[in-house]
Structure 1
């Protein structure tokens, strides 16, 4: 499987250290980027990696954007996104109110990130002309 970004790329993208599961996050994100660009035409090397700089950059950036989204949502790609930790669905500063999504909603949101590119990644690929307007 092709992987379009490194842990260093991810750290550069987020501005903080790469998470301990960066390899798994990047592998999952790269697979989704490859799926989204399956009909795109671009030059590749013998291993299938893109060689044109704007394509290399777009695929790296889309991979990092999606891996960062998975990391922020605490997605474990090896568990297909399953994580039953509660996710705050609403916060309020005045009188300190926090409302949590139920475990099923949180798990569904995390699982979606394992199967579907995040909006930032889609926009990056679309701007580079590597995917259609519908994904």
Structure 2
């Protein structure tokens, strides 16, 4: 089953204040997958399609998805995780420099953008934390 993204291109425009890129729908789908992976252990009510039923939860997931895409756009990533985190690399005799700060690894091993992580935490959706039932 392919899920709908948590956010729309219109929500992304509102979040960033900029026109969306041509591949916005693909980026939003990838970002939604990252949010899902980060929240692998989160518990919240969903409907038959797996969409959140609580409007506040839905808004937090949309915000986190937009924040993830915003981060990728700012860092030149395309949501694949292939964007470099070094501004200079040499092969011999091995020289790396200018390591940029990577986003924190959330639950599920996902590199979640800082603003995405904050949006989820503010909503009480703690990535990677298991709560007793």
TM-score normalised by structure 1 residue count = 0.71
CA drift at 1:11:
0.5
Structure 1 alignment gaps of length 5 or more = 88-99
- 1:8-51, Cα deviation, whole Å (9 max, x unpaired): 11011001111112112111110111112222221111110101
Instruction: Judging by fraction of residues, say which structure has more helix.
Output: 1
TM-score normalised by structure 2 residue count = 0.72
Equivalent in the alignment of 1:7: 9
SS in 2 for 1:45: coil
- Relative to structure 2, which stretch is displaced further, 125-134 or 41-50? 125-134
Structure 2 alignment gaps of length 5 or more = 90-95
SS in 1 for 2:82: coil
Equivalent in the alignment of 1:72: 74
SS in 2 for 1:76: coil
- Runs of 4+ in structure 1 deviating by more than 2 angstroms, as ranges, are 80-84, 103-110
Equivalent in the alignment of 2:87: 101
Distance 1:108 1:23, change over 3 A: farther
- C-alpha separation in 2, matches of 1:38 and 1:81: 19
Equivalent in the alignment of 1:131: 126
What is the aligned-residue RMSD (CA, Å)? 2.9
